[in-house]
Structure 1
Amino acid sequence: MTGCSLLAPTPEPASPQTHYHAPVVEAVSGTVVSVPQLAGRLAEQDVVMIGEYHGHQGAHLLQSRLQAHLYQHRPDQVLSMEQFEVDQQAVLDRYLNDDIGEMELVKDADAWPNYQYAYRPLMEFARRQGLPVIAANAPDDIVRCVGREGPDYLADLNAAQKRYIPDAPFAGSAAYREKFFGTMGGRHGAADNERLQNTYHAQLLRDNTMASRILAARKRHPGHQVIHLTGTFHSEERLGTVEALLQRNPELSVAVISPVFKEEQFDSDELPVTANRNKGDYLYFLLPLPPEYRDEARGHEAMMDAFRKVPETTCD
């Protein structure tokens, strides 16, 4: 027994072995770092942006582990979440104050369908430690109407709705626009059509709202580190929300952690660091999720069914 207890622990594989495994690499050096080591390196950052592939177990486990390890270094912490909208903040506060239960939170704040398995651990850590949680995203009905009607739609909002709109709601950059249109244009046709222009403005509204909410949290909780959870498109390459944040406060220190799928064409121990180095300060690698549908017709029908279930938004 004594001899066994003195054996060195087996090092963690550098390449993901399961869908829960998310090895982290420093982008510049290509060095693999453990989550405790990563937390130590990020302890002095004002904002830590953890990009995610929505619904990937490995991404959500990494977020939860890093949240807890960062807390050990810097217990003055704020959790900021794309997954809740700014007009739902009062509901989050009631939950954090133990005034309502979890299902009341899920229903009243219109939580994402995967909340309980993906974000519950992060919310519960914050609640147990008495930490603030920020509903960071723009109201979905307003975002949809901007996507449908265009940026001028904001002029028609009433006073209550305008409280949720940040200054410079459509601030962006040529680099972000090019990336967005390059990604979305291939799906929707010509990149200069009006619908895609409106969709881009809706994206900017989300980014600028999240940036303004992070800055408001920093102002309300001076000296606190903000951990922001977001879809990776909003943060990778330091564009989107990161860019909007730094445009508003260039003095902030912001670390970006971005996911990358480790595709099958790479050898078991090879990680595609060089090709993705620009995506973040640190990269974490995940096994791809299996295809939802191999039958194209069934996949299309499922997508249309999901669209039909989205509540109708009136933009009058």
Structure 2
Amino acid sequence: GLEMIQQKCQPALDAYLAKEIPDLAAADEALYEQTEWATTWPWPIEQYLPVLHLARSKGLPLIALNTDKDVMDKVKQQGLEALTDQEKQKFVSDPQGFIGAVRDQGFKWYTEMVILPGYERQAAAGMLGPNPTQRNFFAARILWDEAIASRINSYISEHPKELVVALVGSDHVKHGFGVGWRLERLLGGDGSPIRDDGTDREKKRDPWDAPVKNILLNPTAKESGSYGVPKLNLVIGYAEKLEYLRPLADFVWFSKSPRVSLISRMMDPIN
């Protein structure tokens, strides 16, 4: 699944994978235009071509995961109240859980440490349009993650035996409070999708044995919330109780060996 492509652009992605344009370079260019890449994603498509080319050559399905840009722009300026009923139905499959999630104590910490600093960075860079507010940015951000999780949940319901790998930004992975956390909520206790009527919501399972795993690629010390020393902060605690501690991710994956000083060789018991 690809965070960088709007859900409405799924037909363009399907055509690309079906090789409707046989020439690869021409197909890449068509996908770039048809997905509105230049106006919807800040990083060059060239960074993602290895994934796209692999899927095209191997016949692997790809899922367009992101909220449509016009909807996201509207929420950034006007908040969730601006969503139409049709848009709510498309991007939020579990309204009850979506609203209730923001009351989670750990998510409140995640908002303070991850989401709001993102607002400051993007507002300073002029990425949020005229008159941005923290409130609307927060609304857009939780809709972003919920829409991605809802789309993955929908795909799993149609393809229950398939493994889904979603490529998303690191802030949507850290400490399990991004897309993965929301997808876990949408999945039943046995890993099957929650039904539209909201039943089976009371199923409980060990969060360490969840069907969703978060993998953080090439994190830096700063990205992990460690500012005092150049070491990864592998766990966060937002309460004194041990069960409320959250790991940085289920797995940390490095493309090449990290600096020796980045990871403690002898970890404290909590880490």
TM range (shorter): 0.5 to 0.7
1:203 maps to which residue?
141
Q: Does the CA-based 8 Å contact 1:92-1:135 persist in structure 2? A: yes
Note the 1:172-251 alignment, pairs <5 A. 172-173=101-102, 174=104, 175-183=106-114, 185=116, 187=120, 195-251=133-189
CA separation in 2, counterparts of 1:149 and 1:232? Answer: 26
Q: 1:143 to 1:86 in 2, by over 3 A?
A: same
**Deviations 1:248-302 (Å, cap 9, x if unpaired)?**
1143311111142157xxxxxx9835x22411111135879xxxxxxxxxxxxxx
Q: Does the CA-based 8 Å contact 2:116-2:138 persist in structure 1? A: no
Alignment counterpart, residue 124 of structure 1, candidates 29, 44, 53: 53
User: Unaligned regions of 5+ residues in structure 2, if any?
Assistant: 22-26, 124-131, 192-210, 223-228, 236-246, 260-271
CA separation in 2, counterparts of 1:85 and 1:276? Answer: 32
CA separation in 1, counterparts of 2:9 and 2:57? Answer: 20
The SS at the match of 1:255 is: coil
Cα distance, 1:215 vs. partner? 1.3
Cα distance, 1:104 vs. partner? 0.6
The SS at the match of 1:133 is: coil
Q: Does the CA-based 8 Å contact 1:262-1:271 persist in structure 2? A: yes
1:92 maps to which residue?
13
Q: Does the CA-based 8 Å contact 1:87-1:164 persist in structure 2? A: no
Alignment counterpart, residue 276 of structure 1, candidates 231, 234, 240: 234
Note the 1:1-316 alignment, pairs <5 A. 80-100=1-21, 101-111=27-37, 112=41, 114-155=43-84, 159=86, 161=87, 164-168=90-94, 170-171=98-99, 172-173=101-102, 174=104, 175-183=106-114, 185=116, 187=120, 195-251=133-189, 252=191, 253-259=211-217, 260-261=219-220, 272-273=231-232, 275-277=233-235, 278-285=247-254
Q: Does the CA-based 8 Å contact 1:262-1:285 persist in structure 2? A: no
2:12 aligned partner, one-letter code: V
User: Unaligned regions of 5+ residues in structure 1, if any?
Assistant: 1-79, 189-193, 264-269, 289-316
Q: 1:221 to 1:183 in 2, by over 3 A?
A: closer
Cα distance, 1:143 vs. partner? 1.1
Q: Which has the higher contact order (CA 8 A, sep 6+)?
A: 1
- Name which one, 1 or 2, has greater alpha-carbon Rg: 1
1:297 maps to which residue?
none
Cα distance, 1:110 vs. partner? 1.7
Q: Does the CA-based 8 Å contact 1:146-1:154 persist in structure 2? A: yes
CA separation in 1, counterparts of 2:90 and 2:49? Answer: 25
CA separation in 2, counterparts of 1:262 and 1:121? Answer: 27
Relative to its length, the structure with more strand (as a share) is: 1
Q: 1:149 to 1:168 in 2, by over 3 A?
A: farther
Count of aligned residue pairs for this structure pair: 196
Q: 1:206 to 1:237 in 2, by over 3 A?
A: same
Identity of aligned residues (%): 24
1:18 maps to which residue?
none
